[in-house]
Structure 1
Amino acid sequence: MRILFVAAPLIGHLYPMIPLAEALRAAGNDVLVASGGDAAARPPAGFPVEDVVGPFNFGRIALGTMLSRPRLLVRELAGRAGTDAVGHIFGAVNDRFLGATTELVGRWRPDVVVHEPLAGAGAVAAARHDVPTVLHGNTLFDDALLLTVTTAKMRPRIDVPASGAVLRISPDSLVPGASGQPMRPVGYGGGATLPSSLREPASRPRILVSHSTIVGPGSTAVLDRIVRLAPSVDAEFVLIRAADRLAGRTLPPNVRAIGWAPLPEALETASAIVHHGGAGTIFAALAAGVPQLVTPGPGDRAHNAHLVAARGAGLAVPMKRIDADAVRRLVEDPSLRAASAEVATEIAAMPAPTEIAATVFAKFA
């Protein structure tokens, strides 16, 4: 079969789909990826990527969309907008690549289009050519609802047929009642290589620190916060994707900054992780059974942080309230590690992408 994967032009939206794409390719299918932005600039290893977006600035589109809705903008920046703002923002984003995606579906003629919930252009383009779709979840929301609110704000509006299948990667204990066929979330490191020093266990707790791949105000603030408090915590801090950001800066002895690294592999020797609340990072930490300190923030990040804290698998701590005590609790509280291990066991029992490739996709052959 020919299978087209469509993702919004952001790495955090494309990379969670790659394990399934790899499984389908390994099963003998012809797989093509359609996206853009940084997802095209750092394409998944071994996959052809068609840039259907062209020049793209997510921050500019998001801000332009929200400036005409100031009250909604305030709620979105505080992480209290739910799905009210995301439809406006990603409706505008999808308008940018609907035409090119529709042309690609008509030209390449896939048998199935797999798209994520905020890539409604994939669903619309498939519908225009009578191609069945699979909705690949990548969030801690109801993925079908996100697809609906996104396509509702696209121009022009059309009725999108129901997905041929809905795959959800959220474990039941974290998002109770979520619909769709469960599929194990498997991390993808983007083809980066883990430094050899991070493959060996540390002599004291190793705490990873990660920040958003979306550039914007405050996107790397967590790095600065950790650098300031690190000397008062008996732990080793590894700042991921921070080498350029902190170039030339003198860091405390127990802090080091590295470039791109495969997070799933880095988590294998980590005691904890501090991060911005992106869904991909949350799933990677949960699958590894590693406690996490999540900073509630704009968009889905407050929602994500509170879900992790409610499950007991981590802490939700506002950026300005992260201190040495919170970081010490992250690595010393046995209840956090126990809950994280429980979720990791739950995730391990979910069907792997290879199983989904062999079962769910059989009906499209």
Structure 2
Amino acid sequence: MRVLFVSAPLLGHVLPLVPLAEALRRAGHEVLIGTAADAVTAGRTRKLPVADVAPGLSFARVARRMMLRHPLVARAELAGTAGTRGVALLFGAVNERLVDGVAALTDRFRPDLVVYEPLAVAGAVAAARRGIPAVRHENNLFDGAVLAAATAGPALRRHRVATLPDPVTAVQLAPPELVGERPGIPMRHLPCAAGETTGAFPVRPQRPRIAVSRSTVDGPGGGGIMRAVVAVAADVRADILLVRPEPGLPARLPDNVFTTGWVPLDALMPTLDAVVHHGGAGTVLGALAAGVPQLVVPGPGDRRHNATVVERSGAGWAVSAPAITADQLHRLLSDYGLRTSAGRFRASIAARPHPDEVATRLAAAV
């Protein structure tokens, strides 16, 4: 069986697809990822075949164009309050750029199955155009069906497809305790590296460790997390590890603050006692899968929604970067309720089917 995976041109969108793609390849199927921009590098790092379906595409340029044309929506998007309005405009434009390349790749590769993530509906449109079964791979804490419907319009019109067809099924990464019951095949979330591993860290420190992680997407509204933590670090009784340090940090860091480059989340998370991060869905799920309490700093796009989901889960809470204090970081390490809730999610996620099982089910369904 030949399987085409289609992702939006962002690292955080392609990485959740990798475990299933690798599982299908282990099972003997031919796999190809169609994406663009930074996501192409991530796929190749995992030694998966990748096709650039939109050479020269710049997600940042598309985003800037949307913000200039729709300043009120852009303002709400930066605040994380735009809902699907900003997503529809931004990823609608992105998929209009992707869909011709995805359609051409579909014609060349002739897949038996297309697997697309909710903000890469170009994959669903290309599949519909050729009558190929498609599966929606959820990689977001928003409802994927809602996201796909919101962003599909420009790509549908470009290829004269009347409506976005329903997928054969959906692969669901988020447990129902987190997002509610959603139809489809449950699958265990397996974090993976976002690029070449350039950092290193002790397997387990002698005292508690808090990691601070930031988005793989540079842009307005997402900075300041590490500077805020560093400002109070001297009063925290723990080691603090900055993953991919952000610009603007002090030249001299407190003695308990360390830095590292790219590191695989699946290797890092089990060495942590807590994590402070930007609210990306992959980091949220990675922390839950490892049973690590988390402090989320709400940001643009879906990150405010994700922060709310984390607070509701009981496995963490949300606070703006300027409001981070040493007491809050100590609470991350000592709050029994947080650790208990995080542990429950670790058990729940571990009980979900492994990608190898899901690959077998998909192959049988096509």
Q: TM-score, normalised by structure 1?
A: 0.95
What is residue 353 of structure 2 aligned with on the other side? 351
**Structure 1 residue 44: deviation in Å?**
3.7
What is residue 130 of structure 2 aligned with on the other side? 129
Cα gap change, 1:140/1:227 in structure 2, threshold over 3 Å: closer, same or farther? same
| 1:124-175 deviation line (CA, Å, top 9, x unaligned) | 1111111111100001011111111110243436312210111111111111
**Structure 1 residue 192: deviation in Å?**
4.3
**Structure 1 residue 333: deviation in Å?**
0.7
Contact 1:168–1:180 (CA under 8 A) maintained in structure 2: yes
SS in 2 for 1:55: coil
| 1:102-125 deviation line (CA, Å, top 9, x unaligned) | 001001101111110000111111
Following superposition of structure 1 onto structure 2, how do residues 164-175 of structure 1 map, counting pairs within 5 Å? 164-175=168-179
Pairing 1:213–2:240 present: no
Contact 1:32–1:50 (CA under 8 A) maintained in structure 2: yes
Following superposition of structure 1 onto structure 2, how do residues 1-365 of structure 1 map, counting pairs within 5 Å? 1-42=1-42, 43-154=44-155, 155-156=157-158, 158=161, 159-190=163-194, 192-193=196-197, 197-199=201-203, 201-242=204-245, 245=247, 249-364=251-366
* AA at the equivalent of 1:35: T
| 1:38-90 deviation line (CA, Å, top 9, x unaligned) | 11133342211101121232222123113322322222121111112101100
Cα gap change, 1:352/1:252 in structure 2, threshold over 3 Å: closer, same or farther? same
**Farther-moved stretch of structure 1 (169-178 vs 271-280):** 169-178
Contact 1:235–1:254 (CA under 8 A) maintained in structure 2: yes
Cα gap change, 1:110/1:335 in structure 2, threshold over 3 Å: closer, same or farther? same
Q: CA RMSD in A?
A: 1.7
SS in 2 for 1:60: helix
**Structure 1 residue 360: deviation in Å?**
2.7
Gaps of 5+ in 2: none
**Structure 1 residue 25: deviation in Å?**
0.3
Q: State the alpha-carbon separation in 2 of the partners of residues 134 and 142 from structure 1.
A: 15
SS in 1 for 2:171: strand
SS in 2 for 1:238: strand
Q: State the alpha-carbon separation in 2 of the partners of residues 270 and 326 from structure 1.
A: 16
| 1:301-340 deviation line (CA, Å, top 9, x unaligned) | 0000011111100011112211111111111111101000
Q: State the alpha-carbon separation in 1 of the partners of residues 171 and 41 from structure 2.
A: 27
Moved over 3 A (4+): 190-197, 244-248
**Structure 1 residue 248: deviation in Å?**
8.7
* AA at the equivalent of 1:45: R
Q: How many residues align?
A: 362
SS in 2 for 1:225: helix
Contact 2:66–2:90 (CA under 8 A) maintained in structure 1: yes
**Structure 1 residue 288: deviation in Å?**
0.2
* AA at the equivalent of 1:315: W
Q: State the alpha-carbon separation in 1 of the partners of residues 65 and 97 from structure 2.
A: 14
Gaps of 5+ in 1: none
Q: State the alpha-carbon separation in 2 of the partners of residues 310 and 91 from structure 1.
A: 30
Contact 1:290–1:341 (CA under 8 A) maintained in structure 2: yes
**Structure 1 residue 179: deviation in Å?**
2.7
* AA at the equivalent of 1:118: L
**Structure 1 residue 361: deviation in Å?**
2.5
* AA at the equivalent of 2:213: S
Percent identity between matched residues is 46
SS in 1 for 2:179: coil
Q: State the alpha-carbon separation in 2 of the partners of residues 31 and 276 from structure 1.
A: 31
**Farther-moved stretch of structure 1 (36-45 vs 163-172):** 36-45
* AA at the equivalent of 2:242: L
SS in 2 for 1:173: helix
Contact 1:88–1:153 (CA under 8 A) maintained in structure 2: no
